[in-house]
């Protein structure tokens, strides 16, 4: 009974001590899925001011050359600046200095607007990084010495392998794994969620993050990172964009834009001898204006901002993406593989009944279950001890002083004790216990399978209990499917995503949970290598695969998957292997990540379509203006009936500049994604951004022309 009383001392807010179930006072992995809360992110005046300054700093050619489209615009801007000083510098020009100054200023603002879009996206990331830096203070730590005493040291001195004790009210100095204790931990500095979560030694809820605070009890942790390599350090670096690399799609689009720019540059250069042949004098400033208007400057100016904003939107859902490539890959996911325990279900399976086999009394079965669980520190093991205590069974610590603890492994799927007398006590999966008994030449009770099947059909997990060569009965563990998952999986199905549940449970239990959760398929009695096999099978079929997981045994599969989403409440190994980490530990969050990935791809495609479509209207504005004097027949192309050649050119150039800041909100927020087939989605976006990209410039250029002519500026 002493052990039962000892365990009850660990009272943690948010967990009912009688049932070990959530009370609603705390949140975290055991308290159900977090809603996809999207914190309202406002762009402060400080961010705007800093982005305005950064827009000028980014005019550095070393920075601009990374964006070929805007680098060409910068070269044109520099040439027009020289023309402002001396209009006849390169060739004799009929254009006045005022016209050249107007072209220069418009081109300069085109560059600044494009740089401002990127700087604004980066500014939001830096603001978040600054918030995290405030969390990352130089804490002190109680370093456990070899003799068991503690020594106060700076958190910055801790290295991998050190043992640290953290008590209630203290900050956890760095990332680590709990090796002793159970405590309530405030992770609001990382997740934004104010309610505490439960962390304990052993299992999949043992990792802790530096900068979080212990609010009750104490824990002893083993440091998992060296200085500067903590989860918070990586998070700061990632959200501020210091490690952002262009994704394959972004690189491909940049290459396409560079090729288009080169083609238009060749076209403009060939216009000069053609115009000379026709006796037309083309001003250099006008040729530069034509080039800038025809090359895809809109998407060129917004491309980087779209990628940065895409990663920022992921962080708004409290998901840390290790790369933009992971976000993009999420948008193309075909198959989602989910771990059952703690992902589809709450994961806090609790003993609800001891079912004896024929010839065994309930009291005997209860005693056997208690003996098999006295050294089991998992929530399931504690619930067995608790239930046995309620039914009148007790035990003394000294009875098991010399007992050898047998840990559960994925291979044996059993745990238990070896007593000093030679008695072996085991509990575990029914088939594993049956093999164990057969190996000892024991007898399998006739009603064992019936009991196990009945529990499995009810959605529970049966654990058989045996002492030496005799099976005493089955522990009925209850688990609960998280609410709302069936609707989420149905939405994934409408997006063309197949869901597969992996579980170590027997096929009957797996089938019941799969039906209740609404997944498309399941893999029962799965070992860690089975998850990798399932992922490789899907990948060999040409599909992109995502997986969520939280345990150390999930780490290999998370690394193999195209998108691996680890739960923040999970082990450090899982978080190291994944390319995304969900700070809320909500496995359904992957649906939001997939939507954001698709939104990123759609936004980039939509704005590219809009940018290229713009060229049609600008073509009808500038080409007639350039040649109409020498070739009056081109008046037929002047369908906008613009006031003068100079007005047409400046109007097109001004529209080309101001459309960039007007599209910044769309680039930052993203084009709204709706779950529909790819064909319908493509048709919808072509209609809106393709046709719209043709119509809007006609209207915009005409309005600007009316303003310029009305003010007698040209």
Q: Which residues are annotated as part of the binding site? A: 376, 380, 408-415, 427, 550, 554
Tell me the three state secondary structure of residue 691. helix
b/e map 22-47, b = 16+ CB within 10 Å: beeebbbbbbbbbebeeeeeeeeeeb
Separation CA 359–CA 466 (nearest Å): 14
Instruction: Give me the sheet containing 580-582, strands edge to edge.
Output: 319-321, 580-582, 563-567, 545-549, 335-339, 498-502, 521-523
Tokens representing 273 are 């001898």
Please report the DSSP string for 525-580 in residue order.
S--HHHHHHHHHHHHHTT--EEEEE-SGGGHHHHHHSSEEEEETTS-HHHHHH-SE
* Catalytic residue (one of 30, 162, 312, 339): 339
Binding-site members for ATP are 376, 380, 408-415, 427
Separation CA 698–CA 59 (nearest Å): 30
Inter-residue contact 456 to 494 (CB < 8 Å): no
Neighbours of 279 (CB within 10 A): 7
Inter-residue contact 522 to 324 (CB < 8 Å): no
Tell me the three state secondary structure of residue 257. helix
Tokens representing 168 are 């209630």
Tell me the three state secondary structure of residue 358. coil
Please report the DSSP string for 205-216 in residue order.
S-EE-TT-EEEE
Q: Going by C-beta distance under 8 Å and a sequence separation of 6 or more, which residues neighbour residue 683?
A: none
Dmax over CA atoms of the chain, in Å, equals: 111
3-state helix, strand, coil in the chain (%, to 5): 50, 15, 30
- Identify whether 468 is a catalytic site residue: no
- Which one, of 612, 642, 603, lies nearest residue 626 by Cα? 642
The backbone torsions φ and ψ at residue 413, rounded to the nearest 5 degrees and listed phi first, read 55, 35
Q: What is the DSSP letter of 689?
A: I
Residues that are catalytic: 339
């Amino acid at each position: 009974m002493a052990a039962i009383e000892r365990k009850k001392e660990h009272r943690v807010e948010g967990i009912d001590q009688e049932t070990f179930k959530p009370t609603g006072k705390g949140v975290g992995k055991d308290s159900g899925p977090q809603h996809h809360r999207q914190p309202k992110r406002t762009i402060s005046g400080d961010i705007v001011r800093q982005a305005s300054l950064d827009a000028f700093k980014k005019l550095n050619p070393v920075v601009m050359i990374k964006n070929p489209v805007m680098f060409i615009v910068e070269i044109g801007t520099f040439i027009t600046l020289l023309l402002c000083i001396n209009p006849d510098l390169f060739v004799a020009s009929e254009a006045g200095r005022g016209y050249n100054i107007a072209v220069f200023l418009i081109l300069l603002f085109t560059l600044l607007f494009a740089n401002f879009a990127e700087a604004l996206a980066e500014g939001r990331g830096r603001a978040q990084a600054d918030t995290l830096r405030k969390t990352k203070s130089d804490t002190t730590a109680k370093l456990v010495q070899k003799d068991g005493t503690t020594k106060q040291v700076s958190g910055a001195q801790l290295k991998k392998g050190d043992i640290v004790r953290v008590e209630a009210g203290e900050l956890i100095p760095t990332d680590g794994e709990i090796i002793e204790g159970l405590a309530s931990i405030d992770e609001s500095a990382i997740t934004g969620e104010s309610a505490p979560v439960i962390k304990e030694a052993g299992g999949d809820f043992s990792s802790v993050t530096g900068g979080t605070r212990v609010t009750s009890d104490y824990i002893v942790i083993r440091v998992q990172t060296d200085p500067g390599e903590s989860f918070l350090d990586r998070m700061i670096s990632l959200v501020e964009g210091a490690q952002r690399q262009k994704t394959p799609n972004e690189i491909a689009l940049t290459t396409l834009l560079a090729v288009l720019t080169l083609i238009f540059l060749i076209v403009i250069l060939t216009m000069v001898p053609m115009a000379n042949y026709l006796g037309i004098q083309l001003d250099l400033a006008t040729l530069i204006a034509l080039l800038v208007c025809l090359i895809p400057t809109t998407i060129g100016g917004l491309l980087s901002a779209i990628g940065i904003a895409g990663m920022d939107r992921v962080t708004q859902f409290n998901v840390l993406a290790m790369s933009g490539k992971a976000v993009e890959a999420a948008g193309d996911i075909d198959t989602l593989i989910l771990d059952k325990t703690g992902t589809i279900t709450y994961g806090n399976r609790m003993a609800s009944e001891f079912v004896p086999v024929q010839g065994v009394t309930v009291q005997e079965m209860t005693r056997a279950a208690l003996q098999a669980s006295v050294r089991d520190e998992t929530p399931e093991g504690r619930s067995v001890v608790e239930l046995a205590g309620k039914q009148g069974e007790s035990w003394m610590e000294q009875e098991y002083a010399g007992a050898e603890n047998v840990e559960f492994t994925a291979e044996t799927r059993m745990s238990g004790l070896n007593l000093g007398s030679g008695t072996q006590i085991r509990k575990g999966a029914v088939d594993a216990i049956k093999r164990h008994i057969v190996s000892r030449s024991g007898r399998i009770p006739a009603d064992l399978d019936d009991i196990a099947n009945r529990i499995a059909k009810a959605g529970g997990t049966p654990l058989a209990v045996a002492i030496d060569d005799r099976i005493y009965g089955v522990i009925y563990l209850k688990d609960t499917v998280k609410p709302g998952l069936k609707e989420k999986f149905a939405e994934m199905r409408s997006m063309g995503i197949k869901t597969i549940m992996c579980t170590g449970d027997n096929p009957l239990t797996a089938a019941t949970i799969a039906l209740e959760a609404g997944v498309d398929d399941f893999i029962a009695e799965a070992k860690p290598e089975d998850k990798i096999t399932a992922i490789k099978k899907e990948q060999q079929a040409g599909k992109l695969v995502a997986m969520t997981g939280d345990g150390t045994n999930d780490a290999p599969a998370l690394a193999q998957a195209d998108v691996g989403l680890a739960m923040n409440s999970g082990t450090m190994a899982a978080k190291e292997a994944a390319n995304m980490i969900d700070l809320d530990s909500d496995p359904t969050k992957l649906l939001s990540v997939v939507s954001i990935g698709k939104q990123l791809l759609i936004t980039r495609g939509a704005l590219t379509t809009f940018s290229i479509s713009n060229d049609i209207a600008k073509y009808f504005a500038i080409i007639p203006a350039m040649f109409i004097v020498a070739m009056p027949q081109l008046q037929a192309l002047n369908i906008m009936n613009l006031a003068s050649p100079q007005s047409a050119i400046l109007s097109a150039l001004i529209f080309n500049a101001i459309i960039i800041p007007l599209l910044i909100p769309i680039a930052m927020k993203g084009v709204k994604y709706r779950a529909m087939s790819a064909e319908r989605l493509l048709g919808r976006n072509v209609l809106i951004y393709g046709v719209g990209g043709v119509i809007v410039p006609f209207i915009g250029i005409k309005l600007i022309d009316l303003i310029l002519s009305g003010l007698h500026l040209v």
